[in-house]
Amino acid sequence: MSVLQDIIAGVREDLDARKATLTLAQLQGLVAQQRPAMDAFAALGGNDNARADLKVIAEVKRRSPSKGDLAGIADPAALARQYEEGGASVISVLTEERRFGGSLADLDAVRAAVGIPVLRKDFTCDPFMIWEARAHGADLVLLIVAALSDEELHDYLALTHQLGMNAVVETHTAEEIDRAVAVGAKLIGINVRNLKTLEVDRSIFAALAGNIPAGPVVIAESGVRDVDDVRHYAAHGAQAILVGEALVKDATPLERISEFKAAGALAISSR
Ligand SMILES: O=C(O)c1ccccc1NCC(=O)[C@H](O)[C@H](O)COP(=O)(O)O
């Protein structure tokens, strides 16, 4: 069993427990009370043809299978506010519990604290999780191509759009990019971390970004340690970067995001 399959097996068990306490009809009732989702495509520069700056998706990430404990994060809302002040365009909240130590409570806290779109970052493997994301105020969900059939990818993306949200459609190979493009993904992430082996290979972003046609926002996910990594991704076509570990371990994440944005903008202007 790959790491990804193992994570998803745990996600399904936890989901079954939540489904035993809340029906889909009850969840849909909660969704009806939510304010409309924010336009994350626009927030990430999707409507801006010039796309002169680099957008940052800043992640609230407590733990990871590859690195273990990353940060205590006593107050995810305070961290998210620092991200927003630093210039992040979207906040990503890892809600998976067993391997990442996250929760829907973290999502609630972050949603209440910031005025920018929030991504529920989880291993979406059931439509119920998309309804849950919206019920907890998320504006985006994550759809990992490697974890879904074409039919699931199509149906989950359609439900996401039906609920007024966007999806980061995550890829790791040329074939997965083709599948993301075929379903009409508007936000395509290239995760340089192989979720089956946990290997991080930053060079795959440069190798694969050219396979994404004009239109979708291109997001480089994982592996940002410093401005050199930011420059590398921006120089090779990233319009946004998704950063977790480097920010949660930094004493001054606000400054770090400003620095990443400045380095990214410079690299984009010299492309
Ligand atoms: O982070 C992991 O170890 C991991 C392992 C297995 C599946 C997913 C994993 N991470 C999810 C992510 O994609 C990252 O949290 C995100 O891209 C940020 O990465 P980083 O900046 O390297 O923390």
Provide the residue ranges of all domains of the chain, joining segments of one domain with +. 3-269
**Contact between residue 66 and residue 237 where contact means Cβ atoms under 8 Å apart:** no
As a whole number of Å, the CA-based R_g of the chain is: 17
Mean pLDDT along residues 70-75:
97
Under CATH, which number does the domain 3-269 receive? Answer: 3.20.20.70
Asked about 66 being catalytic, the answer comes back as no
Tokens 């199509």, residue located: 154
Nearest-CA residue for atom 12 of ligand 1:
222
Asked whether the CA dihedral 60, 163, 105, 13 is positive or negative, the reply is: negative
Mean pLDDT along residues 15-36:
98
The H or E element spanning position 54 is none
Residue 223 has pLDDT above 90, yes or no: yes
Tokens 């989702």, residue located: 37
Nearest-CA residue for atom 8 of ligand 1:
195
* Residue 73 alpha carbon to ligand 1 centre in Å: 17
- What is the structure's pLDDT at 106? 98
Residue 1 has pLDDT above 90, yes or no: no
The three-class DSSP label of residue 67 is coil
Tokens 């969840």, residue located: 27
User: Could you read off the pLDDT of 142-184 as tens digits, one per residue?
Assistant: 999 999 999 999 999 999 999 999 999 999 999 999 999 999 9
Nearest-CA residue for atom 10 of ligand 1:
64
**Contact between residue 55 and residue 220 where contact means Cβ atoms under 8 Å apart:** no
The three-class DSSP label of residue 163 is coil
ipTM > 0.90, yes or no: yes
Residues lining ligand 1, CB < 6 A? 3, 59, 61, 64-66, 191, 193, 195, 198, 221-224, 242-246
* Residue 48 alpha carbon to ligand 1 centre in Å: 28
- What is the structure's pLDDT at 243? 98
Residues 182, 210: Cα–Cα separation, whole Å: 16
Instruction: From the CA of 67, give the closest atom in ligand 1.
Output: 3
Q: Which residues pair with 57 in a beta bridge?
A: 90, 242
Residues 141, 119: Cα–Cα separation, whole Å: 6
Asked about 151 being catalytic, the answer comes back as no
